[in-house]
Amino acid sequence: FYKPAGEALSMPGPKECFTALANHVGMTGRRFEVGYAAAFEAFTEVLESRKEGLGGCWFTAPGESSSEAFMRRLKRSDPAYEIYK
């Protein structure tokens, strides 16, 4: 969830991330359930469509680091919250 320190890495698009995940799952001999894969693909299309309006961002808000984006999504009631804080 965190980018390494140093030179900024380019953020892959949501479709690219889903394709990489689906390929990994396929290479390990497993598959997503058909309905789940279709829903996941549709969700990535929604995320992809928002990139333009968010200045190319889809995982982080403009000016937000990936660690801040992760913490924003993590519920304070999550038992792991203090670990990541």
Q: Determine the Cα–Cα distance for residues 59 and 15; give it in Å rounded to an integer.
A: 12
Q: Give CA separation, 12 vs 44, 46, 63, 76, in Å.
A: 12, 15, 17, 28
Question: How much is the pLDDT for 63?
Answer: 83
Question: How much is the pLDDT for 1?
Answer: 53
Q: Determine the Cα–Cα distance for residues 3 and 40; give it in Å rounded to an integer.
A: 24
Structure confidence by residue, pLDDT tens digits, 19-75: 999 999 999 999 999 999 999 999 999 988 888 887 778 888 878 888 898 899 999
Structure confidence by residue, pLDDT tens digits, 24-35: 999 999 999 999
